[in-house]
Amino acid sequence: MPYLLISTQIRLEVGPTMVGDEHSDPHLMSILGATKRTTLGNNFCEYYVNDAPRVVLDKLESLGYRVVSMTGVGQTLVWCLHRE
């Protein structure tokens, strides 16, 4: 899976960080220490870590991922990463 989106709420820039959806690579999620959660009212799961986005970005860089773009969407910060 060469592309990955991570995000966090602006008021939660110290964590937790959303690192994947229910179809994400389970091995990568294990390396990141992510746990799968379903938010009340959603019919899908997401993977979260308690780390700040900066810590997650450092871990992903060591695994060969590079940031392609970053944006703010409402009160959410989103990073798109790619691995060759």
Structure confidence at residue 50 (pLDDT):
93
Structural domain span for residue 24: 3-82
Q: Is the pLDDT of residue 30 over 90?
A: yes
Look at the chain and report how many structural domains it folds into.
1
Q: Residue 16: is the preceding peptide bond cis (ω within 30°)?
A: yes
pLDDT at 12: 63
25: its two tokens:
């690579």
- Does residue 13 register a pLDDT over 80? no
- Asked if the model's pLDDT at residue 52 lies above 70, the reply is yes
Domain at 65, CATH number = 3.30.1410.10
| The pLDDT value given to residue 10 | 79
**60: exposed, middle or buried (C-beta count within 10 Å: 0-12, 13-18, 19+)?**
buried
CB atoms near residue 47 (< 10 Å): 23
pTM of the full structure:
0.86
